[in-house]
Chains A and B, each alone.
Chain A
Amino acid sequence: MSREVNFEKKIKRRALILGLSKTFFTFLVFGKLFYLQILQKSKYGKLSDTNRIKLKIVYPERGIIFDLYDKPIASNRIDYQLSIFKDKKNLVYDYVKKLRGHINFSEMDLELIKDNSNEQDLSDFITIKRNLSWNELEFFEFMKNKFPFLIITKEKVRNYENDLIFSHVLGYVGFKKNVTKKKLSNLKVGIAGIEKKLDSKLLGKDGWIKFETDSKGAVKKELNKKYAVPGGNIKTNLISEIQNKASEEMRGIRGAVVMINCQNGGVNCLYSSPSFNNNEFSDGVSLKKWNKLLADEFNPLLNRCIAGLYSPGSTYKLVTALHAIENQKFNKNKKFLCSGHVSFGNRKFHCWKKEGHGYVNLHEAIEKSCDCYFYNLAKTLKIDDLAKFSNLFSYGQRTGIDIPNELKGIMPDRKWKIKNRNEKWQKGETLNTVIGQGFMLSTPLQITLMTARIATGKKIIPTIITNKKEFENLNISNENLEFIKSSMFSVVNSSTGTAFNSKLPGNYKMAGKTGTSQVRRISLEEREDGVIKNEELNYKLRDHSIFTCFAPFDKPKYSLSVIAEHMGSGSKVAAPIAKRIMELALNKY
């Protein structure tokens, strides 16, 4: 019997062991649950959020750029874009294959996909197609369910009101290149022009949308979003109509048109011809197209207004004359005989007028643009003094215009010659310099600025972005300035002036100076055989036509320069263009 009792005890013991092991097991599970749900809650909470929440960056709208009269010249358009969920990027080519025929994937788009899929940025989505058309949108809306990992987003992208006319001054936007770690791979930044200069203001601040996706990456709903902050708007001094007029006038002509407001330095027109389509650039220009533009012999990418270098030609005579009477006590009534050439050393320096101007004084020399008068004047001038004085008119210096990549040109002096040519300055070179030839190179902006400064006697600084400033005086005597201005008046308004053809009709009076920028040096033999007429020359060797002017004469408002490459003398092409543009500006603004 005791065995039976013992057995019962044994059974009870074993039941107890079983119960205890169950309790132990329970505590094990309890412990793990406590660990997961209480101790590690935040870790797993975050993991569950990373699982389901996907981030889409919303790019900010760039600020709008306005012209002087609040007309938008750079704004934004709506762009519908197709994006794929990043985790599913291996599907992209399969999708492209399926969507082809309905949605047009160009070579550019495929390039974009390739670039973007290697991008490591914040966004959980990759843009695979931009600029969806309405048909494409409609198609996708209809087929959406078959492509659960694609989403359509509405983006605002840069759009220029006019493809061509503002391209150089506004610049364009594009992707930052050669940046290894990008936060926002699809953010476009200003690459050139105002877009580049004022990028930080125009850019704005990006936002985001958080989507909830399921385990397969299909978007379920929008959770929340932070709106992107649009960039600041910018008002410029540009006048659309003038810019437009300049582009019309310069059709088929290479060159530049620059107009500056003499009262506040505002740049009203900055047009370089030929131009390029900055909308195309902002949408992303293909390498092929880019190379084609680079190889273009007319160099459409060059902003000739600030980076095109030309000999100022006879327009520079204004500075020479002013220097002589202001600093050298030169008697402006002194007459020199122009017989068509001047001998200096063992060289002959020729006037543009082969038969000569006869006896002329300084006023007439400017009016008729007599070279010989200035050769004679040059004999008593020191190049270093002239160079220093020219700096006042920004020659050889950057004007400080508020767009990047401005060139300063060349204002030669003795130091420059030694440094750059490793030779001593030859006196004969001064003779070339005083008429704006030789080593001297300047930008159309510098020429315009010279005119503006002569017209006002103030150290005008050109600005594209609105900011009125008081300008300091040039400290040149009024009498001398008036003398130069009156000479310029005669250039346009006197029947013997070089630009008499371009006299303004009506009440407005314009003063100006023609110039011819020599592209080649005329050899002695050629002189003797008779100088070849421009029209007969190879196009590339023909002279540049330059005209710079200001108006109205009594109260200068606009200073304007036109440079027409290889179009011959200033009076023939540049001056009439300038006249028409000035006429429009004075009548309308």
Chain B
Amino acid sequence: MTEIIIKLKNLNWLFIFLVSFLSFVGLVMIYSATFGEESKIFISHIYKVTFGFILMILVSLIDVEFWKKNAYLFYFIGIVLLLWVTFYGYLGKGARRWINFYGLNFQPSEIMKIFLIISLAKFFDEKKFQESRDYFFLILPILIVTIPFLLVLIQPDLGTAMLILFVSIVIFFVSGINWKFFALSGLLSLIVTPYLWGGLKEYQKQRILTLFNPENDPLGSGYHIIQSQIAIGSGGTFGKGWTKGTQSHLDFLPEKHTDFIFSMLGEEFGFLGTLSVIGLICLITYITYHITSSFIHNNFNRIVGYGIITNFFFASLINMSMVIGILPIVGLPLPLVSYGGSSMLTYFIGFGITLSLDRGSNYL
């Protein structure tokens, strides 16, 4: 018992505060998004945030060794869940992404990202750097990445699949894999891309194409980007005020409580609001860097730290880039802010692991 208290005492409470603050922003925005409509979503979000927070603290109490030891087991469970969802998954919005678990919808692709990160970390930790010149040993980690990537891609969930791929590349990168490997795989992907493009669904192709010229088709696929930009732009410096966003409340903005919540934030809280959220995300990222960079000769901890924060950081900025028209709309929620259980719980678990890394770190 005292052990737990000591552990709690040693937690990085600043980090916990920042993470909680970001979820609080989410609560505020979801309240506004569902304002005047059904309050069910807001109530459900409160439960999820509370549950996520507790989960984060619980996970933070688990020592990192636990994850290292059981990484492949979790990975295996994750793959089984993904396979399950592929065949028996609950269908929604044209995709098979969810498992119905006692009335709760659960999206295994989210938690798979964590399992993938710890598995890759375990692999690169055990294989010593000397071998990094030998490309054959990379076949296994490539398989570790490819299997979940493809399973998620065929759901289809382009956003999560791309994020899995991206986070994996970053992990390969920070593991110290030779530049030539990246050059080679870059070349390879150039060859493969046309085939991948052919495999995309029509609506996914459209989403990517409209990015280049949203005004071409204002009521078609470009409509969402335009309306989102109008929402953000019309917010100006200070915003239209909480629950006062016209774009969002008059339904010009699609999916305002999930993927486009950042647009609503921009509309209601203006440039100051969006800047604050970016600042918060950067601060969380910076602290994680600070923690992670303190590990010397501990590849596992390092890779887990970079992996988790990269997942969080890029998910956040890709979501923002989507809604402001820098990247195509691929369907990614804004971590901790958007409504959506699986994604939020995954980020809380990730931060729980980060906290536990922090406990074991020896930086001052």
Contact = CB atoms under 8 A, between A and B. Distances in A.
Q: Do A and B bind each other?
A: yes
Contacts of B173: 14, 17-18
A21 to B, nearest CB: 9
B193 interface: no
Interface stretch (A41-49, A334-342, A560-568): A41-49
A292 B87 CA distance: 75
Nearest to B271: A37
B176 A11 contact: yes
Nearest to A21: B170
Contacts of B252: 48, 51-52, 214-215
Interface residues of A, number: 40
B2 interface: no
A41 B313 contact: no
A568 to B, nearest CB: 74
B310 interface: yes
A44 B246 CA distance: 12
A439 to B, nearest CB: 71
Contacts of B237: 37-38, 41
A37 B235 contact: yes
A33 B281 CA distance: 15
Contacts of B6: none
B317 A26 contact: yes
Contacts of A33: 232, 266, 271, 274-275, 278, 320, 324
A43 B234 CA distance: 8
A22 to B, nearest CB: 6
A38 B270 CA distance: 9
Contacts of B275: 30, 33
B317 A43 contact: no
Nearest to A37: B271
Interface in A196-233: 212-216, 220
Which of A3, A30, A32, A33: most chain B CB closer than 10 A? A33
Interface string B130-145: 1000000000000000
A447 to B, nearest CB: 68
B176 A36 contact: no
B151 interface: no
Interface stretch (B76-84, B110-118, B289-297): B289-297
Nearest to A43: B233
Contacts of B270: 37
Interface string A14-41: 1101110010011011101110111011
A25 B275 CA distance: 14
Interface residues of B, number: 47
A222 to B, nearest CB: 14
B247 interface: yes
Interface string B293-329: 1001100001000100010011001001100111000
Which of B266, B302, B306, B324: most chain A CB closer than 10 A? B324
A114 interface: no
Contact of B271 (A12, A38, A51, A213): A38
Given A36-B233, A214-B250, A8 B278 contact: no
Contacts of A36: 229, 232-233, 266, 324
B174 interface: yes
A7 B293 contact: no
A45 B233 contact: yes
A44 B326 contact: no
B278 A29 contact: yes
B233 A7 contact: no
Given A8-B297, A18-B306, A48-B247, A29 B326 contact: yes
Contacts of A40: 233
Interface in B173-189: 173-176
B236 interface: yes
A10 interface: yes
A26 B313 CA distance: 10
B282 interface: yes
A15 B285 CA distance: 12
B174 A14 contact: yes
Contact of A47 (B234, B289, B317): B234
Interface in B158-183: 170, 173-176
A12 B173 CA distance: 11
A41 B274 CA distance: 14
A41 B306 contact: no
A527 to B, nearest CB: 85
A12 B293 contact: yes
Given A26-B317, A29-B317, A215-B250, A44 B306 contact: no
Contacts of A12: 293
B263 to A, nearest CB: 10
Nearest to B274: A33
Given A8-B296, A29-B321, A44 B278 contact: no
Given A34-B271, A37-B235, A26 B326 contact: no
B345 interface: no
B227 to A, nearest CB: 8
Contacts of B51: none
Which of A212, A215, A216: most chain B CB closer than 10 A? A215
Contacts of A37: 232-233, 235-237, 266, 270-271, 274
Contact of A220 (B231, B250, B314): B250
A17 B179 CA distance: 13
B307 to A, nearest CB: 11
A490 B285 CA distance: 117
A45 B238 CA distance: 13
A26 B289 contact: no
B320 A22 contact: no
A3 B133 CA distance: 13
Contacts of B289: 15, 19
B251 interface: yes
B251 A7 contact: no
A22 B174 CA distance: 14
B207 to A, nearest CB: 18
B219 to A, nearest CB: 10
Contacts of A32: 321, 324-326
Which of B175, B233, B237, B293: most chain A CB closer than 10 A? B233
A440 to B, nearest CB: 71
Sorted nearest first, the 10 A-B pairs with minimum C-beta distance are: A44-B233, A48-B234, A214-B250, A37-B271, A36-B233, A41-B236, A215-B251, A44-B234, A215-B252, A45-B234
27 contacts: A3-B129, A4-B297, A7-B129, A11-B176, A14-B173, A15-B174, A15-B289, A15-B293, A18-B174, A18-B310, A25-B314, A25-B317, A29-B326, A34-B271, A37-B237, A38-B271, A43-B233, A44-B233, A45-B234, A47-B230, A48-B233, A48-B247, A49-B234, A51-B250, A52-B250, A52-B252, A215-B250
Given A15-B306, A29-B317, A36-B324, 20 more contacts: A4-B129, A7-B129, A11-B175, A11-B302, A18-B173, A18-B310, A33-B324, A36-B232, A37-B235, A37-B237, A37-B274, A41-B233, A41-B237, A45-B233, A48-B234, A49-B234, A51-B247, A51-B250, A51-B252, A215-B227
